[in-house]
Chains A and B, each alone.
Chain A
């Protein structure tokens, strides 16, 4: 069966520090991968998506970047975090177009 792993679950980082959040999917090949951010009490904002290794599409201009070094690995990064980067970050995958997503358990990121 397919599973998605996202870590860490919580993270507290100082302003100006770097960031690396990792997401891996097991049990499937060539998934579509997504990074979403959710501010407290708000909806879901798509940050990046990827349809293949090395293929990254950015949805909104921001302080973050994404990479897909392997088929089932998706990484969200920043060189210097801002206070506004705080939020709940969710990774998701889907197998084909016109299919639903399966979400990871999320990372609660607090910038101090």
Chain B
């Protein structure tokens, strides 16, 4: 559901390690999921998406895993770099809802040197 009013959880990762950011979504009827990255003072940017007929999708250094049984989504970032420091949001879209995306709480990723 909506994430207004919640403080962002923070994940601290050392440079070069892999990062895993988790998200629990709310609606079993959701059929499309997206991960966004938001750097300070900027609008969110698309990272990767996945449809509900898949359970894994890979991009450049990123992998999204979808577990529909437990309504869980994760974003894996390989060899995390300082430029990956940002807030990451998952979003879900339920079919037939005028493309309205419901955003998760967001997780702040801090990459330490």
Using a CB–CB cutoff of 8 Å, the interface residues on chain A facing chain B are 6, 32, 34, 39, 41-46, 49, 51, 57, 90, 92, 94, 96-106, 108
Residue from A45, A100, A101 having most chain B Cβ neighbours under 10 A: A100
Q: Do B43 and A44 touch (CB < 8 A)?
A: no
Q: How far does the Cβ of B94 sit from chain A's closest Cβ, in whole Å?
A: 9
| Cα separation A57 to B101 with both chains bound (whole Å) | 14
Given A42-B3, A45-B4, A106-B41, decide whether A100 and B96 contact each other with a Cβ distance below 8 A: no
Given A42-B5, A45-B2, A97-B99, decide whether A105 and B42 contact each other with a Cβ distance below 8 A: yes
Q: Do B95 and A97 touch (CB < 8 A)?
A: yes
Q: Do B106 and A43 touch (CB < 8 A)?
A: yes
Given A104-B43, A105-B42, decide whether A96 and B3 contact each other with a Cβ distance below 8 A: no
Q: Do B2 and A42 touch (CB < 8 A)?
A: no
Given A98-B31, A98-B32, A102-B46, decide whether A44 and B99 contact each other with a Cβ distance below 8 A: no
Q: How far does the Cβ of B96 sit from chain A's closest Cβ, in whole Å?
A: 7
Report B91-103 CB contacts with A as 1/0, cut-off 8 Å.
Answer: 1010111111101
| Cα separation A90 to B103 with both chains bound (whole Å) | 13
Given A41-B8, A42-B4, A49-B100, decide whether A98 and B105 contact each other with a Cβ distance below 8 A: no
Contact of B98 among A42, A45, A97, A100 (CB under 8 A): A97
| Cα separation A57 to B99 with both chains bound (whole Å) | 13
| Cα separation A45 to B34 with both chains bound (whole Å) | 16
Contact of A44 among B31, B98, B103 (CB under 8 A): B103
Q: Do A108 and B106 touch (CB < 8 A)?
A: no
| Cα separation A6 to B44 with both chains bound (whole Å) | 14
| A–B complex contacts, Cβ < 8 Å, 18 sampled | A39-B4, A42-B5, A43-B4, A43-B105, A45-B4, A49-B100, A90-B44, A97-B93, A97-B95, A97-B96, A97-B97, A101-B34, A101-B44, A102-B46, A103-B43, A103-B45, A106-B41, A106-B43
Q: Do A43 and B32 touch (CB < 8 A)?
A: no
B25 in the interface, Cβ–Cβ < 8 Å? no
Q: Do B43 and A42 touch (CB < 8 A)?
A: no
